[in-house]
Amino acid sequence: MDNQAPEWVNVGINAALMVITVVTAIIGIQQTRKNRIAAGKSETNASTYADQSLQASERLAAATEAQARLADAQRPPVWSEVTKVSKATYSIRNNSTDRLILDSITLNPELLSRWAAIEVPACVEHGDFFTFVAPGVNGRRLRSITLTWRTSEGSELMNVSRNIPFI
């Protein structure tokens, strides 16, 4: 069973964080504008207003960074856990928001690669599953896989390992 929050919860949290960021930005801009007006009226307070403006900008940057970290923490991993579909058929889901290119899958134990049916490279759209067949041989079953993948925009190759559920 998937322990991740439903996607609408993540979307709601990210939307709320975005609203907070926009409100903080508006407040920072208004504070900066007020500071500039006041600085023009009084040269003696110009340094104070500049410091306040700088502080407001720093708070805005910190809030934006915190929002980005929280949004990253709410995202599910790029690839789901492996699901056993049938005796020798497995699937894994692309949880990212991008189209991914799956360049290779390494099986553990590697001996099973001779009997596996894995068609790579493969393009896996957001939300789609990649399904492959890896039958056990002579009492040996598939224990884990390592995916080598990249985004469709041609990013650097990345690896992720997943254990196979023992069912």
pLDDT digits (tens, 9 = 90+) for 125-163: 999 999 999 988 877 888 999 999 998 887 788 899 999
- Tens of pLDDT along the chain (167 residues)? 455 566 777 777 888 888 888 888 888 888 888 877 766 666 666 677 778 888 888 888 888 887 877 766 666 678 999 999 988 899 999 998 889 999 999 999 888 888 888 888 899 999 999 999 998 887 788 899 999 999 888 778 889 999 988 76
| Rg from Cα positions in the chain | 25
Would you call 105 helix, strand, or coil by DSSP? strand
Domain boundary assignment for the chain: 7-74, 83-163
The model's pTM is 0.55
Tell whether the torsion through CA atoms of 46, 47, 50 and 51 is positive or negative: negative
Report helix, strand and coil shares of the chain as percent, to nearest 5.
45, 25, 30
